[in-house]
Chain A
Amino acid sequence: MYKLYIKIAVRYLFKNKLYSFINITGLAVGIATFILIMLYVNNEKSYDRFEGSENIYRVFMDFKEGNTFVAGDAQTSNYIGPTLTDEFPEVLNYVRIYRFDKVTFKRGSQLFEESNGGMADASYFEIFNRSLSKGDVSTALKEPNTVVLTESLAKKIFGDEDPMQKSVHAYYGEEVLLTVTGVIKDNMRNTHMTNNFLISFPTLFSWSAFEGQQSLNWDHCNYFTYLKLNAGIDKTLLTDKVIASDFEEDEDERYNLEPLEDIHLYSNKPYEAEANGSISRVKFLIAIAFIILILSWLNYINLSTSKSLERAKEVGIRKVSGAQKTQLIVGSLVESAVLNVIAIILAVVLSVIMLSAFENLSGKTLLVPTTFVKQLLPILGFVFLGILLAGLYPAILLSSYSPAKALKGKIAASMGGLQIRKALITLQFLATIILLVGTITVTKQIDFLEKQPIGASLDRTIAFNGELLTSDSDSIIRSKFRTLQSELKAMPMVKMATRAQSFPGDGYDNLSSFVGIVYPDGTEDSRTNFYNYSVQSEYFDLFNINFLSGGTFIDNPKGQSRNIIVNEEAMKKLNISTPEDAISKTVNFFGIQWTIAGVVENYHHFGLKNAVQPIIILHRNSSNNLLVKFDENLTNATGYAAAIAQVKSKWTKIFPESTFGYTFVDKKFDAQYQDERQFSSAFKIFTLLALLIACLGLFGLTSYTCIQRKKEIGIRKVNGATITEILALLNKDFMKWVITAFVIAIPISWYAMNDWLSNFAYRTNLSWWVFALAGVLVLGVAMITVSWQSFQAAIANPVEALKEE
């Protein structure tokens, strides 16, 4: 009997090509989108999962803001790991990791710059459950001046040679000679911190790059600390105990714990190892995935029920031939399964095709082929279950037709059924309008972020940097930089050149922060976090940062002084009421008395996603970045390439053993909005898909209504109705649903987008036209969809319609 059902289903699909195409396309697109989003979600949720990962916790710091504690720093001091292990028997072990922003390895004359790496305790392998392909996990990181490399990095540096026990120089401000004591498999696991090399923690105590922090101390919060906890313990209780401990006798800060598995999605603290994901984005995407999937199911229900009228006769025949109601339901479900299996196959093909595009969009490699099927199965299982449910309503409806009426062609839509279908369509358009409002708002917000003045002019500026592999003294390096700077300034296309530790858009990478300051009025503040970085006097001019009072540093041969420049935010925090009042006032931090030489307008160092932070800019030498502003005449890529080549030749002449790199400052600043741009692109695509699916549904329902009202249309035409009048008659109802959806969508989308915008310190407003545009667009598309069908009905020969009756 199932064979018969399948046979009928396949023949029916071929006979009703348009219906089949619409139904299968709608479902396939919906399922493919769902698969892709769920693969992305799975990928996002897979971070730092390994055997025992549930017992690994990271220590972080909370700072007091007002009367409440806020997560202040992902990094901690090097003392907290050993202290917690000593204090709490629940803590089995700890690992500290110092994260390098960049280390240059040197082997012979070859240089290898590596940005993902750390300095870690020997317990790293135990805590992160990593094994070595060469070397012994228990000893690999025990001795000072040893390093473990990933297989690919080892191959890069040593080629086909066995790297074990071989030496390699590492430069991180200062040089150290390391011996390779282990090779670790390349990381295939998703993690919040990728490490391509690990230098042994004891190296810290002899490496001059870490001068000043070569002892256990509470002061330098530059270390990620992870704890391995006893599996059986109450982790919340331990967290509470850690929070309550006051190791530093400082009531304004405290230590806190978070599960390793939660870091990628739930943690977004200053000084994270890498940019983490966002649980709110994941939730948003899950919501969109379900909306689109449900839309396609609703669509399927709508199309199937509308088409079921045409199958009434068949149901009648089956009933008089002896079919029971359950047999008819099963038959209908088998048919729905046939259609859906085709849709699912198509969806899987579609998702494989779209995977690379989606990966570009999301900036992630979503899956490795071996896990594809494993990941896909539960998703497909869920989809299939949904399909079964979606197929049930049309099946029950179909089987309930009275055979006597069905055979006479007298099945009419029940009012209840029609109401359900209207409600489904309204729901589809409701979701579509909400998504469209979302798309417009996200686009508007990104446009706002990009166009908003940031208080600094970043164009035509390139930050040059490189690791100086030299044993020269600081003063020689300074003098070499001065020479390089004056040579660059002499270049015709260079307008300015200055050195700075950080610059707008550089994020936290090179930015320092501290707590503990004495205000000009003598107030001691040990709570407020101030950010600081060092620059030379031309920095402000180069970026055109506006002074509210005072001016830039007065240059001197040493390139440093005890003058500072603060931003307006820092000025307010320091209890200074006006910029003019700030000049020549003194503040004390790092145990030094500093004099305020100027107050600058609040420029955006972190981009407009974050509120402006209090920043103190020091007058000191920094070799982090050599900022060069080029002439207005330098316009095209070729010009820039030639200019960069010239800078490189001068740089390598002065620092022959150094590495060389550069970043366009404006592009780096813009890259901060990369996430939002990806989000916006994804949003646009999903909205388009949702609109497409909703329109397919509307198309189906219009065709259904046109069949239903065929006789009515015929009678009206015979009695003198024009095509326009018929069109108006048919379209009026559909438009009513879209308008209803629009009215309901306004408050929901307003709430949702207001909530999303609240993540931004600087945000665009939700203008009335955003809603109006979404409404008009959806109404327009709906109108076109409906009119195509109603026009066919309106121009049909009424005689045909009446004859059939």
Chain B
Amino acid sequence: MIQIQNLKKSFRTEEVETLALNNVNFKVEDGEFAAIMGPSGCGKSTLLNIIGMLDNPTEGSYQFAGNEVGGLKERQRTELRKGNLGFVFQSFNLIDELTVFENVELPLIYLKMGKSERREKVMKVLERMKIAHREKHFPHQLSGGQQQRVAIARAVVTNPKLILADEPTGNLDSKNGIEVMNLLTELNQEGTTIVMVTHSDRDSHYAHRVINLFDGQIVTESQNRAVGAMI
């Protein structure tokens, strides 16, 4: 699904050029669950943004489902993102002015889906995330765990091929964290590819493979033998 070769990303200010990613090479296969780990500032989030097509690499190649996306314009990236990618963030990133239902409905609106179909899909995913009873609530009326379940619901409502999770349990207590990881694992088991950035060793054990980044480079890659051991 993802093939990255010699990927570089640098940030330039007036005086300094910082190399955030340096010659990164890796692949993520369809249906895989990969975790990216590393200390703060190692380039994890930058890599995730590039994989999520929120940012372009400075150099190198990024192929998504066989298409080169490295040099795409924003409009093209948006089109490709729609329906193919779902995002889960540490800080949930729900729109405060929208209800649970409306937040989850958002990507479907941009896919120009009809109203009744939207309702059906949203309710289905909310039920699956066990949050349907809260459909009319606003984000600030929910607990952190509930908010993250809504965020996951929004990420999966379009049935994306790939879910990108940026420290999805970072703002949650351990009980809610486990719940969220179980949900992601379930999704993965149903065939969704997942790439997750995490600080947490425990969370990384849910992944098939852990990629360790340091100073913008992949330093180690390891396979998890006992996937789901924590479940």
Contacts and interface: CB of A to CB of B under 8 A. Distances in A.
Contact of B78 (A8, A15, A324): A324
Contacts of B59: none
Given A324-B78, A402-B55, A404-B55, A317 B111 contact: no
B106 A321 contact: yes
Contacts of B94: 317
A352 interface: no
A323 interface: yes
Residue of A313, A320, A323, A324 with most partner-chain B CB within 10 A? A320
B98 A319 contact: no
A327 interface: yes
Given A320-B54, A320-B87, A403-B54, A11 B74 contact: no
Nearest to A407: B93
A324 B75 contact: yes
A325 B106 contact: no
B54 A12 contact: no
Contacts of A403: 54
A317 B95 contact: yes
B182 to A, nearest CB: 24
Contacts of B87: 320
B83 A8 contact: no
B108 to A, nearest CB: 9
Residue of A15, A316, A404 with most partner-chain B CB within 10 A? A404
Contact of A322 (B49, B78, B97): B78
A188 interface: no
A324 B76 CA distance: 9
Given A8-B97, A313-B93, A404-B49, A322 B110 contact: yes
A402 B77 CA distance: 13
A7 to B, nearest CB: 7
Interface in B60-86: 74-75, 78, 81-83, 85
Interface string A321-341: 111110100000000000000
Contacts of A404: 45, 49, 54-55
A1 interface: yes
Contacts of A327: 110
Contacts of A8: 95, 97-98
A318 interface: yes
B219 interface: no
Interface string A399-413: 000111001110000
A322 B82 contact: yes
A492 B95 CA distance: 86
Contact of B109 (A4, A314, A319, A402): A4
Contact of B106 (A317, A402, A409): A317
Interface string B31-71: 00000000000000100010010110000000000000000
Contacts of B96: 15, 314
Contact of A321 (B75, B89, B91, B110): B110
A325 B75 contact: yes
A322 B111 contact: yes
Contacts of B209: none
B95 A319 contact: no
Residue of B52, B54, B55 with most partner-chain A CB within 10 A? B54
Nearest to A14: B97
A250 to B, nearest CB: 79
Contacts of B145: none
B89 A407 contact: yes
Contacts of B109: 1, 4
A321 B97 contact: no
B28 to A, nearest CB: 19
B97 A323 contact: no
Contacts, number: 64
Interface string A380-409: 000000000000000000000011100111
Nearest to B80: A322
Given A8-B98, A402-B54, A316 B93 contact: yes
Interface in B109-123: 109-111
B102 interface: yes
B93 A319 contact: no
B205 interface: no
B154 interface: yes
Contacts of B111: 322
Interface residues of B, number: 28
A15 B138 CA distance: 12
B168 interface: no
Contacts of B74: 325
B129 to A, nearest CB: 17
A334 to B, nearest CB: 14
B216 interface: no
B193 to A, nearest CB: 17
Contacts of B55: 402, 404
Contacts of A324: 75, 78
A317 B102 CA distance: 13
Nearest to A314: B95
Contacts of B82: 322
Interface string A586-604: 0000000000000000000
Given A11-B97, A325-B74, A319 B54 contact: yes
B42 to A, nearest CB: 16
Interface in A756-790: none
A328 to B, nearest CB: 10
A455 to B, nearest CB: 71
B52 A320 contact: yes
Contacts of B93: 313, 316-317, 407
A547 B87 CA distance: 97
Nearest to A15: B97
Given A4-B102, A317-B95, A322 B83 contact: yes
Contacts of B110: 318, 321-323, 327
Contacts of A320: 52, 54, 81, 85, 87
A15 B95 CA distance: 13
Nearest to A320: B87
A313 B74 CA distance: 18
A327 B55 CA distance: 19
A318 B87 CA distance: 11
B212 to A, nearest CB: 22
A388 B95 CA distance: 25
Contacts of B95: 8, 314, 317-318
Interface in B135-158: 154
Interface in A1-54: 1, 4, 7-8, 11-12, 15
Nearest to B85: A320
Nearest to A13: B97
Residue of A1, A314, A327 with most partner-chain B CB within 10 A? A314
A745 B117 CA distance: 61
A325 B76 CA distance: 11
A320 B94 CA distance: 12
B102 A12 contact: no
B56 to A, nearest CB: 11
A409 B89 CA distance: 12
Contacts of A317: 93-95, 106
Contacts of B91: 407, 409
Contacts of A319: 54, 78
Contacts of A313: 93
Contacts of A318: 95, 106, 110
B92 to A, nearest CB: 10
A696 B98 CA distance: 28
A242 B198 CA distance: 93
Contacts of B98: 7-8, 11
Interface of A: 1, 4, 7-8, 11-12, 15, 313-314, 316-325, 327, 402-404, 407-409
9 contacts: A8-B98, A12-B97, A314-B95, A314-B96, A316-B93, A317-B95, A320-B85, A322-B78, A323-B110
Given A317-B93, A322-B111, 4 more contacts: A4-B102, A11-B98, A321-B154, A402-B55
Closest 3 pairs between A and B when the two form their complex, measured CB to CB? A322-B110, A322-B82, A11-B97
